[in-house]
Structure 1
Amino acid sequence: MTTTALPDTHADRGGRGWYKRNEIALTPWLFLAPAILFFAVYVIIPIFQSIYISFLDWDGLGEARWVGLENYAELMEDSAFEVSLWNNLKWLVFYLLAIPAGLFIALFLNQTVTGIRIYKSLFFFPFVLSQVVVGLVFSWFYLPNEGILSNIVQFFGGDPLNVLGDPTLATYGIIAAGLWPQTAYCMILYLTGLNAVDPEQVEAARLDGARGWKMLWYVIIPQLKPATFIAFVVTIIGALRSFDLISIMTNGGPFGQTRVLSFYMFEKALSEYGFRMGYGAAIAVVLFLIMLCFIAYFLWSMWKEEKGR
């Protein structure tokens, strides 16, 4: 009786190269390496550079002078910074209206009725528009004499409205303009989420007598949690980094009452005479820390949910 010698797997393993032995573990990192490199160069490194520049008195070209926390101390006494911070808070609060609005529009568009594709196209239209175009359209809409809004108010017996020229109304007018495309974006997220709703759960709830608001609250919305999570993240970040609409519609006016932190940072760092890069960087760091709080909370919530599964 003859016996066949089995290959020495240990010897074969020792004869292979280091990469071959670790190929399964290394291959994903090779695919991720370009993205990690770009993320480090264009995101991580600039963040630390901005923090460093915020401790300097620098015009962007000449010699930089170390001033420590002086830029941050000046921020605490800057009334324009306070106005910008409060305006960012207004953007945060009112921008969140896009989430329930997007949900209810998605529920309406999820019906199978005649002409629903036309309705979907009309509601989707704002999402594909540039922020510059949205700003121009609403600037014409708010014109005090020729604008549609003023004509509507006058038709019902009111006085013409100069929304963008009124310091108390201008910020809300710009937020309303921003809500138009943001609601469309949330609608798309919820339409995608509604396609993943389990019809068996809906049918079981219907057999148990669930209808209307009960069906929506206890059956539909819990299954839309991933879409709601993304909508919250995108909407909050969009509210905090709002710049385009303000630049197009009011350029920070009237009397600086529509500034937000991102726009005020631009003004201080690149628009004013003297180019205060250090002061602008300090504003950017404050804005980054506010965003970081929200992002950290969302990441923690995501990690907690994954851990609980």
Structure 2
Amino acid sequence: MATAHDDMSWVRRNRMTLTPLLFLAPGVLFFLAYVIIPILQSFNISLYDWDGLGQATYVGLDNYRELATDRAFEISLWNNVKWLVLYLLAIPAGLLIALFLNQTIVGIRLYKSLFFFPFVISQVVVGLVFSWFYLPREGLLNAVLGVVGMDPINVLGDPTLATYGIIAAGLWPQTAYCMILYLTGLNAVDPEQIEAGRLDGAKGWRMLWHVILPQLKPATFIAFVVTIIGALRSFDLISIMTNGGPFGSTRVLSFYMFEKALSEYGFRMGYGSAIAVVLFLIMLVFIGYFLWSMYQDEKAARH
């Protein structure tokens, strides 16, 4: 029969295993409660026709079949592709700015403050600032175009330009975030490797490509993941700047999900959940690919 003394002895013998598990337990429980379970619930709700209040009716895959013929969903998906491709410009832009700010030049603290500023303001403020910037008559953009002799343009009122105008607004703080990641990574670059590269004749782009960038892989991985997640959940800027217009041309999947599930136009929780599932699967493919790539790199480095 086990005694309290035996239990205490077992705890002492396994304390190196138990200690990290106990520290991880609260975080794992919160992750299960607020991430994993809601994801599973979204999958389940997507199989029903439900307004969020009344009786839910099981419809199987009907919501997904409707998505296949939904023109608004197609536009939203295509806009998400635009966001994904163009939002990735924040990564090289952030790297270039970080390389500049990593120099010891006069006024570098002022430059760092200016480039860091977009990161600390909210997306709502960014949306309002760029909405004023794009105003057809009073906006700074058209004032500059007038100075150089060009006709004014209504960026947010043109269905072909509005999405690109919002992406440009989103790139401003996202570039600042990538810059911070790379500045942190540059502080951890091994100076001995840089010196060895100089002795081998590496400089300029060769130094950057062969010596510095390989040491920035962790920062690049985080920058890719955060940028892709930011591109796929681009809701707040669209809501502030165009509310999905003009004529629904700036919708993305997250905004269309909100419209269908929670706005006055929809209250179709099952259909909105189906959109959310598609968005989650797209995000999962990208993040899974990057995690696999990092795992393969670490495996190759160990061997």
Q: TM-score range by the shorter chain?
A: over 0.9
Change (3 A) 1:201 1:229: same
Give 1:253's aligned residue: 245
Change (3 A) 1:16 1:281: closer
Distance in structure 2 (CA, Å) of the matches to 1:72 and 1:136: 35
2:135 to 122, 143, 158: 143
Match of 2:121 among 117, 129, 138: 129
Aligned residues: 299
Q: Which residue of 2 aligns with 1:156?
A: 148
Cα 1:154–1:15 change in 2 (3 A) is closer
- Aligned partner of 1:239: which letter? A
2:66 aligns with: 74
**Counterpart AA for 2:103:** Q
Alignment of 1:51-200 (within 5 A): 51-200=43-192
Spell out, residue by residue over 1:289-309, the C-alpha distance to the aligned partner (whole angstroms, 9 max, x if none): 001111111221222222222
Aligned residues: percent identity? 79
- The answer on 1:233 being equivalent to 2:229 is no
Query: Closer, same or farther in 2 for the Cα pair 1:268/1:209, shift >3 Å?
Result: same
Partner of residue 7, structure 1 = none
**Per-residue deviation, 1:32:** 1.1
Distance in structure 2 (CA, Å) of the matches to 1:18 and 1:219: 49
Equivalence for 1:271? 263
Cα offset for 1:219? 1.4
One-letter amino acid of the structure 2 residue matched with residue 297 of structure 1: Y
Q: Is the 8 A contact 2:259 2:266 kept in 1?
A: no
Distance in 2 (alpha carbons) for counterparts of 1:101 and 1:274: 39
1:95 Cα shift? Answer: 0.3
Q: Which runs of 5+ in 1 are unaligned?
A: 1-12
* Offset from partner CA, 1:125-146 (integer Å, 9 cap, x none): 0000100000000000000000
How far apart, in 2, do the equivalents of 1:101 and 1:200 lie?
Answer: 27
| Equivalent residues of 2:48, 2:59 under 8 A apart | yes
Q: Is 2:289 aligned against 1:297?
A: yes
Distance 1:16 1:177, change over 3 A: closer
Cα deviation digits, residues 94-144 of structure 1 (max 9, x gap): 000000000110111011011100000000000001000000000000000
Deviation by residue 1:54-108 (Cα, 9 ceiling, x = unmatched)? 0000000000000001100000000000000000000000000000000110111
Partner of 2:156, secondary structure, is: helix
Deviation at 1:23, TM superposition (A): 2.5
1:211 to 2:171 alignment: no
SS in structure 2 of the partner of residue 163 of structure 1? coil
* Structure 1 partner of 2:41: 49
User: 1:57 and 1:159, CA in 2 relative to 1: closer, same or farther beyond 3 A?
Assistant: same
Q: What SS does the corresponding residue of 1:164 show, helix, strand or coil?
A: coil
Measure the CA separation in 1 of the matches of 2:19 and 2:224: 34
> By how many angstroms is 1:221 displaced?
1.2
Change (3 A) 1:75 1:46: same
Residue 277 (structure 2) aligns with: 285
* Amino acid across the alignment from 1:107: L
CA distance in 1, matches of 2:54, 2:125: 38
